[in-house]
Each structure stands twice: as C-alpha cells, then as structure tokens.
Chain A
Amino acid sequence: MIRERIWTFFRNCAGLFWLIYILAAAVFIAPVQGAPLLKVGVLEEPKTLNIWLASDAWSSRVLSEICQPLFIREPGTLSLVPWLAEKEAVYDPSNLSYTVYLREAKWSDGTPFTSRDVAFTGKMIKDFKIPRFLSNWNFVKEIATPDPRTVVFYLEESMATFLARTLTTPIVQEKEWSSIAAEALKTEKPLVTLLNQKVEKPVGTGPFILKEWRQGAYLFLEKNPNFFGQGRNIAGRDLGPLIGGIIFKNYGTSDAAILDLKKGSIDMFWWGLQAGYVEDLKKEKDIQIITNEKSGLYYMGFNLRKPPFNDRALRRAVANLIDKEFIIERILQGYGVKMHTLVPPANRIWCCTDVPRYCEGLSKEDRIRTAFTILKEAGYKWDEPPVDGSGKVVKGKGIRLPDGSPMPSFTILTPPADYDPQRAMVGTMAQEWLREFGMPVSAKPMAFGSLTEQVKGRRDFDAFVLGYGKLSLDPDYVRNFFVSANDKPQGWNMSGYSNPEFDRLAEQSVKEMDQEKRRKLIWQMQRMIMEDVPYIPLYNPILLEAVRTDRFAGWVSMVEGIGNTWSFCELKPR
C-alpha cells in the first residue's frame, strides 16, 4: 500500500513540476522591459553593510556611495578636494591643528550633518582601536567642535598623512552609532562586538541610500533625496545623480556577467576584464571598453638578511636580467605599464621619474652584458661565463660568489597559477632568465596564504614575486615597506631593508606638512630604494572595464577605473 502511494506521489510530482516550468516559460519568454536604473554586475556580494567590518572590495564599493568622507580625490589630478568639507582645511603650525569647515548637509534620514558626527567618528575609531582606521587617527589628540559646522583637529605631532588618510575616512552618524558603541564598550571584546553588529540600513550623506538587499540576488541603492551635492558644482563638475539608482547584480563567474552585458541585462561589469574577453566585446556595437591605470605595484622582492641577496650588486644584476618588455607584451598581452619605481606612473605627483631604469631599452644580449659587468666588478666568477672572451653572449654555468664558493641555489616564491597566472608566469620566466646567466634558481608557486606566512611571518625565503592591486594614492607605503622599524614578523618591511639614511628621510617625510617638500623627500626615498633594489618593481596592470553605451553616457575615468562616485553622480540616461 505504502509502496503504491510512493509510486503515485512520484508520478503526480512529475506532472506538477513540468506544469510550473511550462507556465513560467510562457509568462516570461518575452524580454523584461528595462527600468531607468543603472545595473551593475559584480562578482560577489558585499560581506557586510557595517562600515567598520567592510574591508572587502565589494562592501567598500557599495558603502562608498552611502558613507562619505570630508575630502575626496578629484579624478583628473588626483588631488584632494573638499567633499563634506566646504573648503580647504586650514593648518595652524603653532598648535598643530587643522580646522575644517563643513558643508550644509543632511543625513539620509533627514537630520543635519554636524561637526559632532565628525568628532564622534574619530572617537569611535580610537575607543575601539578599529584596525582599518586606527593608524590614521591615533595621532589626533583632540577634536573640538566650536560650532555645528566647524571641526578642529589637534594633532600630537605633525603627520603628513592627515589630509590624505584621516580626512578621507568615511564619517558615520552619531545618532546611528552612539547607543551601539556604548553597549559594545560594556562587553568583554568591544571590537568584535562592534564588528559583529548587523547593519541593515546604513545612514549616510552620499548620493545613494540602500533601498533593498535581497541576499544572493541583488542590492538596490536608490537616489538619496538629501544628497548635499545634488545640483551643485564641486571641483568643476556638475553633480546629479541623474539616475534613479544603482542595482548591483551578483554573478558567480565573469563569463555569466559578460553574457548578460552583451545581452543588455546589465549596463556595466564592475570588475577588471581578462584580456581574452576584449576582442569579443569589441565586436559588440553597444559595448565600450574603457582602460585606466590601477594604483598597483607588482614586484620581485629579495631577502636582504642573508646571502646571496644581501649583496646589492647581485640585486642590480638581477634587475637588469628581468625583461619587463616581455612581461608587459607577452604575459600581460600589452595591458600593463612598466614600473621603474614603487609608485605607479599614474600617481603623477608622487611617482619619481629620475630613478635608475634597469634594463630599459636594452636588448637581451645587452642586458646580460650589463649584469655580467656589474657582477664581474663585484668579484663574481663563473665556471663558464655568460659573456665569452670575444664579448659574445653564451649560456653561463657555475656562478661563484666573490669569496669563491659556488652560489647556493635559491628559490623564487610565487602565488600559484590558479590564484594569479601572471605572477606565476613571471616567476617561471625569471627562473629561465637567471638560469641562462648561470644562477642556480628555481621558481616555486605556493598557496597564497603559505607564501605570505613564509615571507612575512617566518621571513624564511630568498626571493618572491608579489603585488598590491590597490595601493593608497598617498605614498606613505614607500616608508612603510622599507623603514627598518617595520622589519619584524608580520611587519611590512618584508625584505629586511635597513638603511639609516632612508629611515631618517622616511621619518622626515611622514612629519612634513608641506606637500612640495614632502614630494622631494618621497622622490629621494624612491631613488634610494631603486639604487639599493630590495624590490624590483615590475608592472602595473591596466584595468579593462566594459560598459554598455546605449542607455547611459558620461562615465568618469580615473585611476582605479570608472566605478567611482563621480561617475555615478554624473552619468546621464540617453
């Protein structure tokens, strides 16, 4: 009896399911009419709308349209322009204070934005020691609010990053966070309690506010009627937004997102395209490929704490042997720019242009001859030199250190090809170039977590290929990466570079409040690093983005691409 019931149930279910599918297909076969909203394809959902936890790119992208800072970067020059601030900050060196005057603005819930909100944001960061922001605020001694539209920051010491990093911190509403903060501070682990706070509808001052988030499907930001920039001209740009809102659609793979872009179901795919997609997309008449530089740095680093790379001559020789032209043209398929220093060329103010340019413009033979000369002068010998007596380049064998001992074999660590094929390939090619020169080297791809642990945690390595996809536009990282105080486990000085003169300049650069004087210091630091080459800067990938041109126009290009607040405030429906 039961068996027959199971049997009947199975048969009935079959009919029911197919009926639903046929009905569904019949109802929705016609294409759905598009709404006047910008549809953006993304590869992941934001992990949170809690701004204190939002360290991932996807959360930051959504929250950057909701929570606003006092100053932002202008797309043309990348200089800081007042945003929630009304005008430039006024510095008083006598008491190390900055006075910031605020615009008349409202929060998305209609309440006025005041100086108390700014002071509260700083206090929260310091009270909770919020890791993402603390280093930008821990030198702020006091924040005074003489009136609702004036904030005075008193610093403990002069700090060059104050404008670029402290004043670009998103400001949160005191009303929204004060009770949450008070409760969290009473708990055993206040920071974790704060980070675990669920935020469903963040209050902000930005051009958009959250309307609805259906997890796993889409997130809808609608236009904020209280946006302070609406109809205003800021930094010479007329702001809207002129679109009704932004829908972020979630895709599991780039393939699916690109098919939907071609089909017209999304207007923009907010993710760098692989070069392989470009030719196909160029054939579509309503799709435009937009290229911009990233603020990235991909490099080869050395361990200066032990032989063989504690010798500057060897590092310089390797820098000459690495063929950056090949990396750009063959590995990046032309979608990258060569790096000769640590700051990307697009960051025009801070990128030093008169650093030594290893291997620039040299043929393969000339590169080998240059490296050979450097090492020969430093006392290196070969069983079979890579340049023979007649000056002809041949395959070198058995390189020996200046003390006559054979060079110990060394390893270049790289991320695995499934994590980043380009860096893995750079490691393999570097291995080949150095082997031709007679060096006993092997490239070793390893899991990214293990790689960073080995390089940064245990500091047990010879050389590595790593990169930063999104460096801050402020160049303080030049100091961070090489100052000797950061040569400690988990510290940012992974190479173990130690140079008292560099430390002195680095210390000066972080205290220098005059931008032109600071620029000179930063340039000098870059020259010093490129003379000593603890890192060989290799390339900065070009960001390729695809948009449809049939519904919206007016994308604003800047470093890091067209997905920025300026674009979303200026886009016009066609």
Chain B
Amino acid sequence: MELRRYITRRLIQIILIFFVILTVLFLLFRLAPGDPVSRMIDPAMSPEDAENLISQLGLREPIWVQYLLYLKNFVTGDFGYSFHYGRPVITVIWDKLPNTVLLFTTSIILAAIVGIFLGKIAAWHKGKKLDLWMTIGALVTHTVFLPWLALIMIWVFSYKLGWFPITGIISEEIWLDPDSGIVAKVLDVAHHMVLPVATLFCIHFGSYLLIMRSSMLETLKEDYILTARAKGLKEKVIRDRHAAPNAALPVVTSVGLSLAFSINGGALTETVFTWPGIGRELVFAVSHNDYPLAQGSFLLIALVVLLANMIVDILYAYLDPRIRY
C-alpha cells in the first residue's frame, strides 16, 4: 500500500518536472542564436521567398502562440516535422533509436558484468597487488579521453591489423548480396559492433568496478558474512553467494540510470564510429536549429530518465527488503 502511494506521488512529481522541462526546452531553443531557415536560403532566393518559407514553417507566429501550439501538439502526441528532413520527428527518432539502444545496452551490460566480477575480486584481495592494479586500471580506463581511445582502437585494430571495419554499422557487400542470409547479416552487425562496444566498455567498466569494490568492502564487514565464515562455508561460496549479490545492488542503480541515459547515445562515440544513432542526430539537430527534432529527442530522453529513476527506486525496494518508502 505504501509502495503504491509512493509510486502515485512519484508519477505526479514526474508530470510536474516534465512540464518544467517542456517549457525550459522551448525557451532555450528560441533564445539560441541563429534561425532554422538560414541554411535553406541561398543568394538566389529573394527575401520575399524566404519570408514565405519562414511563414509556412510557422516561425512568424508570436512566441506564445508557438508555445501553446507546442504544448497542444505534445499532449496530442504530435512532435511535428523535422525542418531538415521534412519527416515526422517520431519517425526520425524511431529510425535511429534501435541502433543506439543496441550499442549502448550491449556495452553497458558487458561493462557491468565485468565490473561487478572484477570489483568483487579486487575487494576480496584488498590491499594486495591484484587490488592495486585493478583499481589503477579502472581509474585509467574510466578517465581516458573517449575520442582518443576510439581513434586508437580504429588505428590499431581496423587500419593496421584489419580485423574490424573502420566505421559504420553494416557492410554494403553483405547487405547488397542477395545470397546473404540472416545469420551473415547478424554477424556483420556484430562485427561492426566490436570496436565501439570495446571502447564504451573500457570507459564504463572502471566505474562499475570501483562501485562494486567499495560496496563489497562494506558488505564484507556485515555480521552475516562473519556468521557464514563461522558456519565453515568455503571462501568462494561466501564471496559469490553471500557477499557479491548484496554488494551488487548499487551497481544495479548505476546500470539502470546508465541504460536510461544510453538512449541519448554518445555524440562522440557515434560520430567517431559513424554509428547512426540518436547521439549524432541530436548534435546535428541542435547545430542546424532543427527545433522539432531537437525538442523531440530531448523530451524523449527526459521522459525515459525520469521513468528510469522511478523504476530503479522501486526495484531497489523490491530487491532489498530493508528499504521501505
């Protein structure tokens, strides 16, 4: 009952926060310098023709009329048409979303698995050389400059060794070949994923390792671990069955939020690897003053992050019976 009340309260909060985000986003884009049609206009176009185009795009309406239209369209699920692509914003986002989700969820889950595993080992060997090297390794990979790492990966594994494609998500040789089956196509995508996933993995796993290590060290001080030892259980069983699952809870929160944020992709990763995802699209929309597309993308991200926050809170209570709201 308490949980239900909590969820209702959080939902109301989310609606209010979302309304604030809607308004701030609208204002931010209108306050930004430049105008969205400047890139569509060339010297041959008369000011009258340009004015006609601006009016038809609705950009000559007073700002409050634009705001009311914006709210109305949002409530009715109409995100409008991208100025740049001339296609519905939802379609543009929907085309890119699966690519981003595929890349980022894969790398985050992999990073979480390895991070938890290594964090557990590091904590278990606290103060020893293994712990020291793992901690240093995690700090280095977590703080390395992502585009630099990505370019080094491409240089070594794609250009010099030729093991992986330099960029992109698929090879035209495979996808244009009528004899290519589904297995070949799936493997082709997987082949293209290796380098971007490896790069993102390097960036993320360090933080999971450090969170897990810290949480594990706390858990190992708990009385039930002492009890387990007193019962004569094997060290591996105490570490893997008793300590690690409980210590992994903070990582669950971190992974949950990372997954939610992953829908905005990573502009840098997606640009360097030419991964056709939301991150690149978002940067493009902002730099080209494509208001509908940028607003649609930001709103989607805001909504998913708000909901993910709530889900993580609920999940936390569910996984740890001691937590009550």
In the assembly, what is the distance between CA of A430 and CA of B223, in Å?
Answer: 74
In the assembly, what is the distance between CA of A3 and CA of B246, in Å?
Answer: 8
**Beta-carbon contact of B113 and A197 below 8 Å:** no
**Beta-carbon contact of B187 and A256 below 8 Å:** no
Find the A residue at minimum CB distance from B147. Answer: A253
Find the B residue at minimum CB distance from A491. Answer: B47
CB distance from B160 to the nearest CB of A (A): 10
**Beta-carbon contact of B43 and A480 below 8 Å:** yes
Question: Are A129 and B166 also in contact (CB < 8 A) when A3-B319, A47-B84, A448-B34 are?
Answer: no
**Beta-carbon contact of A452 and B34 below 8 Å:** yes
Count A-side interface residues using an 8 Å CB cutoff: 82
Contacts of B274 in A (CB 8 A): 250-253, 256
Find the B residue at minimum CB distance from A255. Answer: B151
Contacts of B52 in A (CB 8 A): 129, 131, 191
Contacts of A56 in B (CB 8 A): 39, 84
**Beta-carbon contact of A252 and B112 below 8 Å:** no
In the assembly, what is the distance between CA of A265 and CA of B158, in Å?
Answer: 11
**Beta-carbon contact of B47 and A490 below 8 Å:** yes
**Beta-carbon contact of A196 and B86 below 8 Å:** yes
**Beta-carbon contact of B56 and A452 below 8 Å:** no
Question: Are A217 and B172 also in contact (CB < 8 A) when A131-B45, A253-B272, A468-B43 are?
Answer: yes
Count B-side interface residues using an 8 Å CB cutoff: 81
Question: Are A256 and B40 also in contact (CB < 8 A) when A10-B113, A14-B113, A135-B45 are?
Answer: no
Most A C-beta atoms less than 10 A away, residue of B99, B168, B280: B168
Find the A residue at minimum CB distance from B274. Answer: A252
Q: What mask results when residues 246 to 259 of chain A are scored 1 for a CB within 8 Å of chain B, else 0? A: 01011111011001
Find the B residue at minimum CB distance from A216. Answer: B276
- Cβ 8 A contact of A10, one of B43, B112, B187, B271: B112
In the assembly, what is the distance between CA of A4 and CA of B52, in Å?
Answer: 64
In the assembly, what is the distance between CA of A196 and CA of B106, in Å?
Answer: 35
Question: Are A192 and B56 also in contact (CB < 8 A) when A32-B173, A135-B45 are?
Answer: yes
Which candidate, A23-31, A372-380, A526-534, is the interface stretch facing chain B?
A23-31
Q: What mask results when residues 44 to 62 of chain B are scored 1 for a CB within 8 Å of chain A, else 0? A: 1111011111001100000
**Beta-carbon contact of A252 and B272 below 8 Å:** yes
In the assembly, what is the distance between CA of A99 and CA of B124, in Å?
Answer: 89
Most B C-beta atoms less than 10 A away, residue of A136, A216, A250, A489: A216
Contacts of A10 in B (CB 8 A): 109, 112-113, 116
In the assembly, what is the distance between CA of A17 and CA of B193, in Å?
Answer: 11
CB distance from B250 to the nearest CB of A (A): 14
**Beta-carbon contact of A24 and B271 below 8 Å:** no
- Cβ 8 A contact of A31, one of B35, B162, B174: B162
Contacts of B151 in A (CB 8 A): 255
Known: A4-B245, A165-B44, A481-B43. 6 other contacts (CB 8 A): A13-B109, A21-B190, A55-B42, A252-B167, A263-B158, A490-B51
30 contacts between A and B (CB under 8 A): A2-B319, A3-B319, A4-B245, A6-B245, A14-B113, A24-B190, A24-B194, A25-B163, A29-B162, A32-B171, A35-B176, A47-B84, A48-B85, A53-B86, A56-B39, A56-B84, A131-B52, A192-B57, A197-B86, A212-B176, A215-B95, A216-B96, A217-B170, A252-B275, A255-B151, A256-B273, A256-B274, A259-B154, A447-B33, A452-B34
